[in-house]
Structure 1
Amino acid sequence: MSVNRGASDQRTTAIPNPDGSVPDDSAPGAATPDGGATVWLLRSRGCWEPAAALLEPAAAHSPEAALDRAELLIERSLFENRGWGEAESALRLAEAGARVDGTRAAAACARGYLAYCATLLRVHDRLDEAQMALGRASAMLPPDAPGRPLLDFRRGLVAENLLKDPAAARTAYRRAHAGAEQQRDDLLLSYTWRHLASIAQQDGNLAGARHGFAESLRLRELIGFAIGIAPALASLAEVSPSPEAVLLRAEAARLVRTFGGVPVWLAEDGGPGAAADQRDGQAPGRA
């Protein structure tokens, strides 16, 4: 689920309390007269379950809301490595309600992403499912469809981190990057910058990698995607000189602690900068 937030929406820069609590007006079941801003606020703080609860009533009769809810729970599973069954159930509901090609394609794109995440985190080997689902989505989407940049990005993820094909990944990421720029989707741009930088790092282009990681961090800070800032800091540290790298890792570790050990793959085995961050082909390969 991509979100386009302008620089004027700075409320999401706030960091949640360590217990994950949120203001009363953001509690599950509250009305959302702000057109989804409350859901984004919760999501950006890593409060996926309350955000999903806000969408649950609409998800019962709206395929779009059902899909948004499924995407939230898939993202939670990636960051927390739990809740896979809930994400699967939410996605099945979205798939069952899809009636037109655009919605079916979006559901197939989400299906491929869920399978990718489960394979990446070694929950289940679902590589074949990921490729087939993303292929189905591609067959249903015209080249200029709004969902095409996100689909291209996710196909790049599979190529980079599961198939170990950086050339194919680079091509997919560049298409996604161009589409995100056209749509002014700053969140997706933060991801495409990050993964293009990952490939530049693998190629030994440290200057290009540093630029891409810095752009990813800048965009996440700009839109207030607080839960995604620690991974961006840790990645930038990998291509930064000391003592700057030390400071970046320390700030990333502080944020992970603030968010209660999320993302789990930065918290484990020593925190940001540890060898565990390289398991999927550099830390940028996740979020």
Structure 2
Amino acid sequence: MAYPAMSDTGTAAGDDPLQIAVWRLRSRACWTDAAALLASHTAGAALQRASLLVERCLYTAEGWEEAEDALRTAEALASSDDERGAAACERGQLAYAATILGVRDRADEARAALGRSAALIAPGSPGRALLDFRRGLLAENLAHSPQSARAAYRRAHAGATAHGDPLLLSFTWRHLAGLALREGELAEARHGFGESLRIREELGYLVGTAPALASLADAETEPEASRLRAEAGRLFRLLGGVPTWLAPQLAPAPPAATA
């Protein structure tokens, strides 16, 4: 199972030094430090700060109270439909994270929040692609509906392409590849996982590289699969065991039984 982060590289706004610093910290799993760089007196900064702290929960299963506080601030400062929709999208992601990580069942809250977001974010706007992706996650992992998930991921993929969001593309490639692997379409799965890994390496998204390597390993044969898992394990340890949910995928396989 995969647990994605928020969208956007954070470096597209004219190479803003602040955004570059936030991105570098975020990509190295330093979400709290990245959030500390952002003042929360504007809706945009508050929303970005909340997004960082929600992502931290997803990758570490920690920091839930901080994320809730940041979300409440972002919701209070939101004044447009796009801002309110983006805040609802983050609330849905936080509820999804709590559910999928076994912290607390908030599936109904996740669905309701993403439904509110869909009513507020206009079709074709940049935020719609991320919303479509997260609705795909709910369809795949909570509703167990791969067909609905695939349709949502494809909409998100098209939106990320149209709006030039490479990080989100890395997630849509990976999740579409995961569905392909489940159906035994190995060539399609390898291609999608490979594209996801390539994008993350190009962006320097270190915290997402180990999961991409592990996913590609699942579609490869030996000895390449073992090489990829070993590299994923090295990065996983380098980041102090983040993302926490990756550990079972990197555990050594038990020795084959003998007669």
**1:2 partner amino acid:** S
Following TM superposition, where does structure 1 have runs of at least 4 consecutive aligned residues deviating by more than 2 angstroms? 4-7, 269-275
Give the 5 Å matches for 1:30-179. Answer: 34-55=17-38, 58-59=39-40, 61-179=41-159
**1:68 partner amino acid:** Q
TM-score normalized by structure 2?
Answer: 0.91
> Mean alpha-carbon deviation: is it higher for 32-41 or for 238-247?
32-41
TM-score normalized by structure 1?
Answer: 0.83
* CA distances 1:31-52 after superposition (whole Å, capped 9, x unpaired): x961410000000111111001
Question: In 1, distance between residues paired with 2:162 and 2:59?
Answer: 28
Instruction: Give the match for residue 217 of structure 2.
Output: 237
Calculate percent identity across the aligned residue pairs. 60
- The count of corresponding residues between Structure 1 and Structure 2 is 247
Alignment partner of 1:187 is 2:196? no
Offset of 1:274 from its aligned partner?
A: 6.4
Instruction: Give the match for residue 27 of structure 1.
Output: none
Offset of 1:203 from its aligned partner?
A: 1.2
Give the 5 Å matches for 1:212-223. Answer: 212-223=192-203
Question: In 1, distance between residues paired with 2:253 and 2:63?
Answer: 25
Task: State the superposition RMSD in angstroms.
Answer: 1.8
Find the partner of 1:205 among 153, 176, 185.
185
State the secondary structure of the residue aligned to 2:37: helix
Point out where structure 1 has 5 or more consecutive residues left out of the alignment: 8-31, 276-287
Equivalent pair of 1:236/1:248 in contact (CA under 8 Å):
yes
Equivalent pair of 1:134/1:151 in contact (CA under 8 Å):
yes
**1:142 partner amino acid:** A
Higher relative contact order structure (alpha carbons within 8 Å, sequence separation ≥ 6): 1
**1:253 partner amino acid:** G
State the secondary structure of the residue aligned to 2:139: helix
